[in-house]
Amino acid sequence: MQIIDLPVAIKPVPLLTLSLLVLLLLSGYETVVEAEEIRPVRAITVAYKMREDVQVLPGLVTAHRYVNASFKISGRLTQRYVSVGSTVVAGQLLARVNDDIEKNTFTAADAEQTAAKAALEQAESVEKRAALLFKTRAVSQNEYEEASRQLKSARAMVQASEAKLRSAREQLGYTALYAPTAGIVTDTFAEPGEMAAAGHPVLRLADNRTLDTLFDMPADILIKGLTPGRTIQVCLDEGRNECTEATVYEIAPDTDPTTRTYLTKARIDQPLKQMLLGATVFGHISLASAETIQIPAAALTASADKAAVWVVSSQDSTVELRPIETAGYTTDGVLVSDGLQPGEMVVTAGVQALHQGQKVAILVEGHEKH
């Protein structure tokens, strides 16, 4: 039997049908390419701003003037009417020494003056009578001149007795010690029964009407411009709740061998009632203002154990972890001394979730900046 090959008609396949076939063949091998994550962050543009350099140092309250009270004569101390801590006023009786000898001297001088005045009265009477008799030639000229000499001598004796009495009165007054100024007794150097030498202090007074503050001043603060005449704000605490002002009037020319600081004295003209002698206060010293960059503390992270921040590139919005040098910390943030330039953008929120070269979107008040 003969087999006859019949011609087969080949029809063209439509393009849409071909596309569907390709999609069906590749449906099991679809590759999903994920878009790179863009993380929203908050950031600030850093800039220089003026910052007042304020140094806080503890200080000690002392009296501006101390006075040593001493007797002008030597003697055995019989009474001391005040003790350490006593508050006294100017002219108040503080102590006494034995005054037996001075009393006797005064009594004798007083009696001597009384006798001299009596002798003067008698000499005046004799001279007066002699003058009348001399006019009538009842007495000779020699007798009259003798009466005149006796009168002059009596007057001189009165003057001498008055001077002696004044001296005795002064010596008796020196047996009592009075406060030369108002203040507080800070120390005593003699007890009743002991000998008090003339000119040697019996007690010490602190004139607390004007106070001083003593500071151990570091050299760098002096280098920055602290000089006599400058004003320091002196407060009872570091928070500046109760403060007054003090004026620097003395800076030691050399350092303390132990602390290597300069003893600085500042006078408090209007001390607060709570500023007692020996109290600790805090001096707020304002130095020259300087330009500095300050960033929020939340912007700070670390890189190789150094402080660092994420800096946003202005070209492609990627972040770079950059080490910085800090100059200190304030209640408002961190002071940066090196590593940042004005105009650069620093991430302030979300710093822990970033990686090097990551793209970010800047949020402004909760919205992305487009």
CA nearest to 334, candidates 356, 309, 316: 309
Per-residue pLDDT of the chain (370 residues; tens, 9 = 90+): 444 444 444 445 454 444 544 444 445 444 444 456 788 888 899 988 877 677 889 999 999 999 999 999 999 999 999 999 999 999 999 999 999 999 999 999 999 999 999 999 999 999 999 888 888 888 888 988 899 999 999 999 999 999 999 999 999 999 999 999 999 999 999 999 999 999 999 999 999 888 999 999 999 888 888 899 999 999 998 777 899 999 999 999 999 999 999 999 999 988 998 899 999 999 999 876 677 888 998 888 888 888 999 999 989 989 999 999 887 777 778 888 888 999 999 998 878 888 898 898 888 643 334 3
pLDDT, position 25: 47
Q: Which residues of 135-148 are buried (b: 16+ CB within 10 A; e: fewer)?
A: eeeebeeeebeebe
The DSSP string of 272-290 is: -TT--TT-EEEEEEE---E
Single-letter code of the amino acid located at 149: R
pLDDT, position 1: 41
All structural domains of the chain, each given as residue ranges with its CATH number in brackets, are: 41-51+291-368 (2.40.420.20), 99-174 (1.10.287), 209-290 (2.40.30)
CA nearest to 340, candidates 349, 350, 348: 348
pLDDT, position 369: 45
- Distance from C-alpha of 272 to C-alpha of 166, rounded to nearest angstrom: 46
Which DSSP letter does residue 7 get?
A: P
Residues 6+ apart with CB under 8 A from 124: 151, 154
CB 324 within 8 A of CB 336: yes
pLDDT, position 93: 97
- Distance from C-alpha of 319 to C-alpha of 370, rounded to nearest angstrom: 17
Which DSSP letter does residue 75 get?
A: E
Q: How far is CA 1 from the centre of its chain?
A: 131
pLDDT, position 178: 97
pLDDT, position 318: 92
CA nearest to 184, candidates 220, 158, 209, 161: 209
Record the tokens describing residue 94, joined without a space.
Answer: 């503080």
Q: Is the pTM of this model over 0.75?
A: no
